Amino acid sequence: MTDTLTNRAVPDAATQLDIYRRMIRIERNDDATRTQIRRGRITAPYYSARGQECIPSAISVLLNDDDKICTIYRGIHDMVAKDMPLRPLWAEICGRVDGTCKGKGGPMHLTHPETGVMVTTGIVGSSMPIANGFAWAALLDGTKQVTVAYFGDGASNIGAFHEALNLASVWKLPVIFVCQNNGFAEHTRYENGTSVDQISKRAIGYGMPGYTVDGNDPLDVYAHAHAAIERARSGEGPTLLECKTFRFMGHVFGDADGYMTKEEKAEAMADDPLPKFRQKLIDSGVATADQIDEMTAKAEAEVNDAIEFAMSCEYPSDDELRRDVFAEEIPA
Amino acid sequence: MTDTLTNRAVPDAATQLDIYRRMIRIERNDDATRTQIRRGRITAPYYSARGQECIPSAISVLLNDDDKICTIYRGIHDMVAKDMPLRPLWAEICGRVDGTCKGKGGPMHLTHPETGVMVTTGIVGSSMPIANGFAWAALLDGTKQVTVAYFGDGASNIGAFHEALNLASVWKLPVIFVCQNNGFAEHTRYENGTSVDQISKRAIGYGMPGYTVDGNDPLDVYAHAHAAIERARSGEGPTLLECKTFRFMGHVFGDADGYMTKEEKAEAMADDPLPKFRQKLIDSGVATADQIDEMTAKAEAEVNDAIEFAMSCEYPSDDELRRDVFAEEIPA
Amino acid sequence: MSTETVKMNGLQAINAALMEAMEADPKVLVLGEDIADREGGGVVGVTRGLSTKFGDMRVRSTPIAEQAIMGAAIGAAMAGYKPVAEIMLMNFTTVAMDMIVNHAAKLRFMSGGQSQVPLVIRTLTGAGNQTAGQHADFYEAWFCHTAGIKVVIPWTPADFKGLYLSAIQDPDPVIIVESGKTLFVPMDTPVNQGPIPLGKANVVAPGTDITILSYGQMMFTVMEAVGQLAEAGISAEVIDLRTISPWDKETVLASAEKTGRLLVVHEAGKNFGPGAEIAATVQETLFGKLKAPVGRLGAPYCSVPFAKKLEDAFLVQPPAIIAEAKRLAAMG
Amino acid sequence: MSTETVKMNGLQAINAALMEAMEADPKVLVLGEDIADREGGGVVGVTRGLSTKFGDMRVRSTPIAEQAIMGAAIGAAMAGYKPVAEIMLMNFTTVAMDMIVNHAAKLRFMSGGQSQVPLVIRTLTGAGNQTAGQHADFYEAWFCHTAGIKVVIPWTPADFKGLYLSAIQDPDPVIIVESGKTLFVPMDTPVNQGPIPLGKANVVAPGTDITILSYGQMMFTVMEAVGQLAEAGISAEVIDLRTISPWDKETVLASAEKTGRLLVVHEAGKNFGPGAEIAATVQETLFGKLKAPVGRLGAPYCSVPFAKKLEDAFLVQPPAIIAEAKRLAAMG
Ligand SMILES: Cc1ncc(C[n+]2csc(CCOP(=O)(O)OP(=O)(O)O)c2C)c(N)n1
Ligand SMILES: Cc1ncc(C[n+]2csc(CCOP(=O)(O)OP(=O)(O)O)c2C)c(N)n1
Ligand SMILES: [Mg+2]
Ligand SMILES: [Mg+2]
């Protein structure tokens, strides 16, 4: 009942490598974040997307800097895939004034307009209605820009999802609604919160195409994202992509995982998109193991540089509480 | 793509007559309301349901007094179909202390628990989430009670619709979601606000049956309502019924109707469910014209009695502002 | 600029402001339910003519979906547009509070100044038309308490024109409340009314014995009371606050210090209402300098009732103002 | 009743209250996201053990759908149950405001007393954990301003137990705010703690020079400050308000009259915050009897910032309380 793609775009070798580059950059960044938290150098709540790297990576190779994303608390992978620079990202999650949000937003609320990271929301479902506004603006501007709204499977049960998809369809907005279905909403299993077996079927209710995609397979995500982005750029309107995946680190860093079985988790982790895609790239001759290791080392170096940078930055001054409330500073 | 009913229940002669009785009671009551407003004897905004009589009538013959309805500002037909007594109804819309809500609610917010009229809301979409609560209570009580949530086509685009239908399906609640699709939301044409050609298709996204029904055909409404109510009573969960109809009097009494063509309106009014069903009852020998006229006269007499009663009632005392805020009266 | 005036009402003044703003600045957009001419130019006609003149892309009717409306406005604002979004009635802001409070008001701050959200929310409210408990509330106190959004409640058509022109060009979100009567009562209005700065109160009548502060449609009631107070020999200085947040402390404090007495009157509930902030600030700043405590009049602690008689008792009426002003004037 | 005490924290106290209430009254229900044991008994474990003991029908985890949660609670309450609905964090009340404000708080009044809505909303909030702008707000002022709902913000575990027991049996809607630290700090608590009436403040320390009023986790800060004030020779009478609406005017006025000075401290924003109502009432009732104006301390006019340093500056800290108390104590 969900739609099936007939014309599947295939990424060329360079693009495949670029997808992997983004994936490993996300993975290295995530790993480092967890390490820094464990060491007590970062004190904020952290929602790891380990396991979901493939989704925004295979999408972002199809996006330009001026294409926009609206994402959620579990969204740093989406930003890194969009090639947001890591120094301001790290300075932000360390609460420093050189952070992209001057330390006011933190890891749940990063913004970086230069790379199209427009909104990161902590409210389930709220990325979608706002994404529509950017898409409306693109139509008014007469550009071919698209906006990607990322959200989780649990978010597909909240009112904002419904209102946003309906409006986007009626207005034929260039938006791609990307549901990263990791099977859980906090501790709630998919089927205990969601009344339909595939979220993509909800697209029927909005007269838009809906696809269920293997979110751990870069080629599958790429093919469907390609179709959705083409559709959006050509003025035909929105698409709903449901990308099935898993979060390896539970809901929030430190989470007990008691709400799933060991077997279930082990099985999901066996489908880790990173080693799988690495092997595929090597097997298909797209890259050698050395090339990939080099890529990995480069990502790691970039992350380490960003951490060093962040830790050397100043904390924001208390005056910041009076700035950015309005354009005009609030008098002391 | 929307569901098709295989096993169609057919109302017997007495039930058909009972449907008509409810329809004519609604129609006479609506006509009288508009007359009283025109004469300046009622001063409130009034949302006539003239043209939509068939829907709640064919449903209500299947309901017991302890089955519940949650309805909306355009909902007096739903109450009258549920056999709410007219005296407290009229006293309420006239703002008198003998009104069912002591004159505090008015025509948009009638409540009459004895006949199952539980909530009448002025907020688009809000009948649905609350209906779920009554249905949950019925499951806890172990009764076979069902709850009907009435709402409009425009309301199917708001978040509350989505959240309520999803929850009802996950919890397998005995609710029937009845969309009275009259083709307009205030001045907005169906297709300018709604992204799918049939609202019933949205049921797919909630894993529940969805039917599009001729809302002006009592037998069609009855058959589908019968299936939905059976399903609910037997613990299988909710159903979405989309009943297509038309509102003859515009959005609110006095409305200019400039947003539709004369032809369109004339065509819709030619499908008036009342004379059509009347003729059918006579043609099929269920009733004679005389019997029906008598029924009509009886309805009219009941309405007139209620008006007389209401006009003779007292206005509420100002102390009422301190009562019913909490169970305990607010001190003066 | 000419000082020529014409009689116009608030509705016409807002329409003129929107026309001028859209004409002068192609970035100005208008959206909301039924606001385009295809739908009659708004339920009371405030936006009439705009879509015909500026096209369907800049003036867009929406589905009934306030989260989607506000989301689209926020995204478009962040992309460089200046949307004027209608939430038909103030009670319906309750379904869009997340978008307004967690997003529109906060994104500038949370992004460290990277995001700008220059939007205007238009909304209508006010008791007096027997629309009962869900269509007439004043909730400005909620928005005044929310950092990052300005709150404007004009009284005269000239103020509507001038404050709208400023609000639309303001770099931050502004909510403007249109209160019932203020849309329909014609007053002399400068033909070339230009922008009026936000945050400035208007001393509409000088006086010596007491300062009476109000705003919106309650100003009509206050003016009536003030006339009668004058006859009773009490000279009231009348302040129309116009912008409720950030409010004009300077003007209010100067006047209260001068007269030695202050009475705040609003239609919103008295308990935890906007008047509490004004009273709390004034008692602190002018401690020991006032001849009487700061008086407050507002709605009683209950929902807006339906029956005309109760609605009249619910609203602050001239006799209550007169009595309270006399009581305060007799002190000190 | 035994006066034996044990050390427990707020979390344990609430859990005990829910256990007792569910045990004693089969009408008590619990619902919310992740609240059943299958999902770990709530994200911080407040509801742990309830579903195992009372079954999945009385203790129901929900989809992420706060309108649906509140709707189900309202309907069940009207049908005779006593639901305790969790809105995980106070910022998420923004997506359920229609249900809370237009329905839960108003239906008794609007129905002329026919509808009873005896529900409890549990919600958590508070700065201090670097959760930034969308997870830590105190919006109790909104609910205090809304007629028909009671607002409770306990500090001690004993009060949590006692106030929960009362709130659950209260015939009207009550929102109880659990503020971060109050859940986790163990305190001596009577083993048999019974119900504590709503609407009564607690004078936790007698004093002579100034009254300091607060509630929730801010009480920890106040107690710290009061200790230091004592050392500086200033004797503060400390009031834990506990119920913010309706608040205990009698106790507060008596204390303020006795000490001649009042300082209100809360974590909510100062502007248009709950303290404004208290200050406005006290200045009026005790006009001429106070030695100093009523002082208020609350959050500055901005969103909750992420960086620890800014969060510390955002929160009212002991030095600010001490300074303000000294300033006021020096007057009169
Ligand atoms: C409106 C709202 N309700 C509840 C929450 C608390 N919450 C944060 S994340 C989350 C689960 C979301 O699950 P899903 O959408 O599947 O995304 P995931 O975390 O799995 O990526 C919940 C319930 C919230 N942030 N916003
Ligand atoms: C949340 C909300 N938004 C807007 C409105 C204003 N409004 C009242 S009725 C209505 C149209 C509803 O259309 P539909 O659901 O089709 O019902 P109908 O009036 O046609 O029976 C609107 C927009 C409202 N009452 N509530
Ligand atoms: Mg998930
Ligand atoms: Mg309709």
Report, as an integer, the average pLDDT of C283-293. Answer: 98
C-alpha D253/C-alpha D286 separation (Å) is: 8
Residues 249-278 of C with CB under 8 A from D: 268-269, 271-277
- For A131-168, the pLDDT digits (tens) are 999 999 999 999 999 999 999 999 999 999 999 999 99
Determine, yes or no, domain membership for B118: yes
Tell me, what's the pLDDT at A44? 86
Q: Which of B196, B198, B240 to mutate to test the interface with A (most CBs of A within 10 A)?
A: B196
d(CA D26, CA A207): 45
The answer to whether the CB atoms of B188 and C66 lie below 8 A apart is no
Q: Around C219, how many Cα atoms within 13 Å sit in the side-chain half-sphere?
A: 26
In a domain, B204, yes or no: yes
A77 lies in a domain?
yes
Q: In this complex, do D38 and A259 lie within 8 Å of one another by their Cβ atoms?
A: yes
Q: In this structure, are residues B95 and C305 in contact, taking their beta carbons and an 8 Å threshold?
A: no
The dihedral built from the CA positions of residue B81, B84, B90 and B93, taken in this order, carries a sign that is: negative
First to last CA, chain D: 46
Q: What is the rounded end-to-end Cα distance, in angstroms, of chain A?
A: 60
Give, in degrees to the nearest 5, the angle at Cα D140 between D139 and D145: 110
* Over residues C303-320, mean pLDDT: 98
Mean pLDDT of B275-303: 97
Confidence of residue B255 (pLDDT cuts 50, 70, 90): confident
What is the rounded CA–CA span in Å between residue D214 and residue A77?
A: 42
User: Which B residues, 92 through 121, put their C-beta within 8 Å of a C-beta on chain C?
Assistant: 95-96, 101, 103-106, 108-109, 121
pLDDT tens profile C123-154? 999 999 999 999 999 999 999 999 999 999 99
pLDDT for the residue numbered B301: 98
Query: Which phi and psi angles does A311 have, rounded to 5°?
Result: -70, -20
Q: Which of D34, D130, D134 sits opposite A122 (nearest CB)?
A: D134
Within a 10 A sphere around the Cβ of B296, how many other Cβ atoms?
A: 18
Is D103 tagged catalytic?
no
Across A22-146, where does the E strand assignment appear? 68-72, 117-121
- Mean pLDDT over C185-198 rounds to 97
**Domain count within chain B:** 1
Handedness of CA A250, A255, A259, A265 (dihedral sign): positive
pLDDT tens-digit readout, B50-73? 999 999 999 999 999 999 999 999
pLDDT average, residue stretch A28-34: 98
Q: Which residue has a Cα nearest atom 10 of ligand 2?
A: B186
Residue ranges of C 135-154 with Cβ closer than 8 A to chain D:
139, 141-142, 144-148
- pLDDT greater than 90 at residue A241: yes
Task: Find out whether D108 and D115 touch, Cβ atoms under 8 Å.
Answer: yes
B207 vs chain A: nearest CA distance in angstroms? 5
Instruction: CATH number for C202-329: choose from 3.40.50.2300, 3.40.1480.10, 3.40.50.920, 3.40.50.720.
Output: 3.40.50.920
What mean pLDDT comes out for the span D95-111? 98
pLDDT at B6: 87
3-state secondary structure of C203: strand
Name the band, by pLDDT with cuts 50, 70 and 90, for residue D164.
Answer: very high
Instruction: Report the distance separating Cα C10 and Cα C25, nearest Å.
Output: 22
pLDDT for B2: 79
Buried (b) or exposed (e) across A137-167, using 16+ Cβ within 10 A? bbbbeeeebbbbbbbbbbbbbbbbbbbbbbb
Chains that touch A (3 or more CB pairs under 8 A): B, C, D
Mention every residue, 6+ apart, whose C-beta is less than 8 A from residue A176.
Answer: A59, A146, A147, A148, A149, A225, A228, A229, A232, A238, A239, A241
Average per-residue pLDDT in chain A? Answer: 97
Whether C205 contacts C175, CB under 8 Å: no
pLDDT at A160: 98
Q: A33 is in which domain, residue-wise?
A: 13-309
**Are D211 and D256 spatial neighbours (Cβ–Cβ below 8 Å)?**
yes
Confidence tier at C228 by pLDDT (50, 70, 90) = very high
Q: How far apart are CA D107 and CA D89, in angstroms?
A: 24
Query: Which range has the worst mean pLDDT, A322-326, B1-5, B72-76, D96-100?
Result: B1-5
Question: Rounded distance, CA D327 to CA D275, Å?
Answer: 18
Question: What integer is the mean pLDDT of C296-320?
Answer: 98
DSSP for B137-201, written as a single string: HHHHHT----EEEEEETGGGGSHHHHHHHHHHHHTT--EEEEEEE-SEETTEEHHHH-SSS-GGG
Q: How far is CA D207 from CA C290, D183, D262, D318, in A?
A: 28, 28, 12, 18
Evaluate if residue C28 carries a pLDDT over 70.
yes
Q: What atom in ligand 1 is closest to the CA of residue D134?
A: 25
**Closest of A8, A75, A64, A5 to residue A219, by C-alpha:** A8
Closest CB to C39: pick one of B95, B188, B330.
B188
pLDDT confidence band for D1 (50 / 70 / 90): low
Its ipTM equals: 0.98
**Which CATH number is associated with domain C5-190?**
3.40.50.970
Cα–Cα distances in angstroms (integers) from residue D253 to residues B167, C283, C327, D247, D267, in the given order: 47, 16, 22, 11, 22
CA distance D62 to chain B (A): 7
* Residue D255: DSSP 8-state: H
Number of the ligand 2 atom closest to the C-alpha atom of B185? 13
Q: Are C118 and C78 in contact (CB under 8 A)?
A: no
| Chain A, nearest residue to D40 by Cα | A259
Report strand pairing: D262-269 vs D210-214.
parallel
Distance from C-alpha of A6 to C-alpha of A8, rounded to nearest angstrom: 6
Q: Is the CB of C273 less than 8 angstroms away from the CB of D91?
A: no
User: What token pair was written down for C130?
Assistant: 């027997």
Which tens digit of pLDDT belongs to each residue from D222-238?
Answer: 999 999 999 999 999 99
Banded model confidence at residue D2, pLDDT cuts 50, 70, 90: low
Average pLDDT over residues C41-57: 96
Mean pLDDT, chain B, integer:
97
If you ran DSSP here, which 8-state letter would residue C269 be given? E
Tokens of D15: 């859990």
Contact between residue D313 and residue A328 where contact means Cβ atoms under 8 Å apart: no
Domain ranges (residues) in chain C? 5-190, 202-329
Query: What span, in angstroms and rounded, lies between the C-alpha atoms of B48 and B60?
Result: 19
DSSP string, C299-331: E-SSPPPSSHHHHHHHS--HHHHHHHHHHHHT-
Question: What sign has the CA pseudo-torsion D143, D149, D154, D157?
Answer: negative
Starting at the edge strand found earlier in the chain, the sheet holding B68-72 runs: B117-121, B68-72, B147-152, B175-181, B239-244, B210-214
Residue A100 lies in a domain: yes
Vertex C193 angle, CA C191 and C194, to 5°:
145
For residues D20-24, average pLDDT: 98
Of the pLDDT bands very low, low, confident and very high (cuts 50, 70, 90), residue A2 is confident
Of chain B, the end-to-end C-alpha distance in Å amounts to 60
Shortest Cα distance, chain D CAs vs residue B97, angstroms = 9
Q: Is the pLDDT of residue B250 over 70?
A: yes
Once rounded to an integer, what is the mean pLDDT over residues B26-39? 97
Q: How many CB atoms sit inside 10 A of residue A54's CB?
A: 32
Give chain C's end-to-end CA distance (angstroms, integer): 46
- Note the pLDDT tens digit of each residue in B189-232: 999 999 999 999 999 999 999 999 999 999 999 999 999 999 99
Q: Report the nearest atom of ligand 2 relative to the CA of B125.
A: 1
Q: Give the domain CATH number at A104.
A: 3.40.50.970
Mean pLDDT of A286-301: 97
Residue D299 tokens read as: 């959050």
pTM above 0.90, yes or no: yes
Which chain A positions have a beta carbon within 8 Å of B1's beta carbon?
A: 204
Count CB-CB contacts under 10 A for residue C242: 25
Residue B154 has pLDDT above 60, yes or no: yes
Is A216 inside a domain boundary?
Answer: yes
pLDDT at residue D190 tops 90: yes
pLDDT, residue A1, reads 56
Give the whole-angstrom CA distance, residue A35 versus residue D266.
36
Q: What is the DSSP letter of D98?
A: I
pLDDT at A256 over 80: no
Return phi, psi of residue D162, to 5°: -65, -40
Write phi, then psi, for D259 (nearest 5 degrees): -85, -20
CA gap D31, D62 in Å, rounded? 7
